[in-house]
Structure 1
Amino acid sequence: MNNKTIILILGACGQIGRELTVALREIHGTSHVIASDRYANRTDVPNYMQIDVLDGERLKHVVKQHGVTQIYLLAAMLSAKGEQDANAAWNLNMQSLITVLNIARDEKLDKVFWPSSIAVFGPRSLKFNCPQETRTDPETVYGISKRAGEYWCNYYYEKYGVDVRSLRLPGLISASAPTGGGTTNYAVNIFHEAIKHQYFECYLEESTVLPMLYMKDAIRAIIKIMSAPSEKIKVRTAYNLGGISFAPCDLAAEIRKYIPDLKVVYQPDHRQVIANSWPASMDDSGARNDWGWAHEYNMAAMASAMFESLKAIKKPSLDHYPEFLIEDVAAI
């Protein structure tokens, strides 16, 4: 094991990656956390390099050259977008993980983090307080790839001793990055549209309850599980991670405390079918008992934090983000 931690974040420009990069650099220092994505010319990001996660040779070279000890693999094609091109979604989501796991094995990395998702569950999974161990029958290529990935993580741990850790993330809410191709993204977009237009068209039914988590809680969970002693990690597929659960109508009501004139029109589309197959709430007692997970933000605190964050953005819109950022995120 190396005496110093050198972290490589793959997908650092995405929804999770942007905030996780900042948080890890506060702990380890900028020089010890390499931010990477498949796009060039990111002069605004310190210690950044261009890496395509499907380029195994390039990735292995970077790991060896810089003495990387931990990899956080965040790049993925999400649920709704993945249904538009199943082969591309499977290739990106699955091959990137296998590549990273092989490098971790061969180069004897200390740890790997890879996010799973509530998308591993399906319509025959338990709807409320969905347990850690239950029937999983995902109906999207994203969910299928995440469930298969969980088994690969467990396989590499059992067979090769690769210390890979994973969380089944719910919908993530953040003001610092755009959304991209996920079924739960309405819970971010509604804030932007409420501020800009006091009007929002929701692609889910108003009563569709889904598990959600404010991004700061998600970042804390990732750092906490990666900091836990190995003997505390008893689930080597992926831990359920819960937080708050609400429906679009609940979130709209909370936002109206700040923007009373907000009008929401519900026009369910193909994403409604995906949402219907997912649990409404999660039993994350395993994470709470094994390594001390606990969320801090309820819906009211999350909404307050979102509005405070968006005040700092002169134009609360997705238009000011580069086009490529819309795709390269890791959520659901």
Structure 2
Amino acid sequence: MILVTGSAGQIGTELVTELRNRHGSENVLAGRHKTPLPEEIASSGPSEIVNVTEPEQLKSTLLTHGVTQIFHLSSILSVLAESDIQTAHQVNINGVFSILNTAFETNVEQVIIPSSIAAFGVDTPRTLTPNDTIQRPSTVYGISKVFTELIGNYFYSRFGLDVRGLRLPGVISWKTEPTAGTTDYAVAMFYGAIRDNKYECYLRPDTLLPMMYMPDAIKSLLDLSDANITDLAHHSDFNVNAMSFTPSELAEAIKKINPKFQITYNIDPLRQSIADSWPSSLDDSAAREEWKWKPDF
């Protein structure tokens, strides 16, 4: 059985669907917590309440369902994490440790835990950010992602648990509206163009950030999961890159499809400061060399 935590989230909803297409609906357990699952996920296969901050409940779930692989997507995202650092610590740090330790105790074979470009900081080279470089993030979300990378590598080297992860950029999708993320404008702008022919952006028009189309985000997680472990020199900390663009560039592209679309800017100092601490592009040569990563878009 494959468990996906955070199955109601932006990535989780589409990952569950793809995994069920590949492995059969009965073999993919959709983990949910406070956010209800979309109907298509709830009705197409098994689901279970999973609280990653309660190790005993988590252990019972893994044993009851015979879970052998986990995709751990439960997380408090960047902006919300800054407004509630205690909950962010419980979920993003204690929850990650709980997942890994419980997986080890119950003989789970593999754990995939995404990291993020938030794991980098203002001291990191911004252009073609190397895979192995100074990180030093300045947000609680970024700090938790560095912890995720380090503790994932620790469980691999210390206990032999097959933990793998990659640093996802902003993810562009349409099925589930994202919330509380810094790069979410890229999705919200499309919704604004469709609903109201306008969008008010909270980042400066020249803010250049790495982005990825959802099919490539799903592909990266599954390709990394399928890679031969003997080919991997890295484990929980791969850069993956697809494209980079600014809000103004995206707005111009939308105007070509919807000439009525208008964009305005009302800069959010918190989100802008977070975006300014992140890379503008990533060097993902390690992923390309070690598990043949290549985006389709």
The normalised TM-score by structure 1 is: 0.86
Checking the alignment, whether the CA contact within 8 Å between 1:112 and 1:165 is kept in structure 2 is yes
Please list the CA deviations of residues 191-215 of structure 1 after superposition, one character each: whole Å capped at 9, or x if unmatched. Answer: 0001111111000000000000001
Tell me which residue corresponds to 2:4. Answer: 9
Asked if 2 retains the 8 angstrom alpha-carbon contact of 1:117 and 1:146, the reply is yes
Q: Identity percentage over the alignment? A: 40
Cα drift, residue 39 of structure 1: 3.8
* 2:13–2:38 contact (8 Å) kept in structure 1: no
Q: Structure 1 residue runs of 4+, over 6 Å off?
A: none
Find out whether 1:31 has 2:26 as its counterpart: yes
> In the alignment, which residue of structure 2 is the partner of 1:307?
none
Question: Which consecutive residues of structure 2, in runs of 5 or more, have no partner in the other structure?
Answer: none
Task: Map 1:87-98; keep pairs closer than 5 Å.
Answer: 87-98=86-97
- Please tell me the residue identity of whatever aligns with 1:48: S
- Letter of the 1:19 partner, please give it: E
| 172-181 vs 45-54, which moves further | 45-54
Contact 1:70 1:110 in 2 (8 A): yes
Q: Does 1:295 align with 2:295?
A: yes
- Establish whether residue 250 from structure 1 lines up as the match of residue 249 from structure 2: yes
Deviation at 1:88, TM superposition (A): 1.3
Partner of 1:66: 65
Shift of 1:236: 2.2
For residue 90 of structure 1, report the CA deviation from its aligned partner. 1.4
> Which residue identity is paired with 2:114?
P
Deviation at 1:234, TM superposition (A): 1.6
**Aligned 8 A contact 1:129 1:282 in 2:** yes
Q: CA separation in 2, counterparts of 1:41 and 1:199?
A: 29
1:293 aligned counterpart, secondary structure: coil
Q: Report the 3-state secondary structure (helix = DSSP H, G, I; strand = E; otherwise coil) of the residue aligned with 2:29.
A: strand
Superposition deviation, residue 239 in structure 1: 0.2
Q: Tell whether the 8 Å contact from 1:40 to 1:50 is kept in structure 2 after alignment.
A: no
Q: Which residue of 2 aligns with 1:301?
A: none
Q: What is the alpha-carbon root mean square deviation over aligned residues?
A: 1.2
Aligned to 1:227: 226
Q: Could you tell me which runs of 5 or more consecutive residues in structure 1 were left unpaired when the two chains were aligned.
A: 1-5, 298-332
Distance 1:65 1:204 in 2: 46
Distance in structure 2 (CA, Å) of the matches to 1:204 and 1:247: 9
CA deviations on 1:64-101 (whole Å, 9 max, x unpaired) are: 11111001110101111111011211111011111111
Per-residue CA deviation, residues 138-164 of structure 1 (Å, 9 max, x unaligned), is: 010000000011110011101000100
Partner of 2:279: 279
Q: 1:79 is matched with which residue?
A: 78
> What secondary structure, in the 3-state scheme, does the structure 2 residue paired with 1:256 have?
helix
1:239-274 Cα offsets, whole Å, 9 max, x none, are: 001110000011001111111121111111120010
Higher RCO (C-alpha 8 Å, min separation 6) = 1
1:189-208 correspondence runs (5 A): 189-208=188-207
Matches of residues 125-144 of structure 1 in structure 2 within 5 Å? 125-144=124-143
Q: Is the CA contact (8 Å cut-off) linking 1:39 and 1:51 kept in structure 2?
A: no
Q: How far apart, CA to CA, are the structure 2 residues paired with 1:162 and 1:42?
A: 29
1:101 aligns with 2:96: no
For the residues of structure 2 that align with 1:256 and 1:60, how far apart are their CA atoms? 50
Shift of 1:42: 5.0
- 1:19 is aligned to 14
- Does the C-alpha gap of structure 1 residues 42 and 282 become closer, same or farther in structure 2, counting only changes over 3 Å? closer
CA distance in 1, matches of 2:192, 2:204: 18
Quick one: distance in 1 between partners of 2:115 and 2:34?
24
Q: Secondary structure of the equivalent of 1:154?
A: helix
What is aligned with 1:55? 54
CA contact (8 A) 2:7 2:37 kept: no
Structure 2 vs 1, CA of residues 279 and 40 (structure 1 numbering), >3 Å: closer, same or farther? closer
| Residue pair 2:92, 2:144 contacting (<8 A) in 1 also | yes
Write the deviation string for residues 111-155 of structure 1: whole angstroms up to 9, x where unpaired.
001010000111111010000011101010000000011110011
Change (3 A) 1:259 1:166: same
Task: State whether residues 255 and 261 of structure 2, in contact with CA within 8 Å, keep that contact through their aligned partners in structure 1.
Answer: yes
Whole-Å separation in 1 of the counterparts to 2:25 and 2:279: 38
Q: What is the aligned partner in structure 2 of residue 325 from structure 1?
A: none
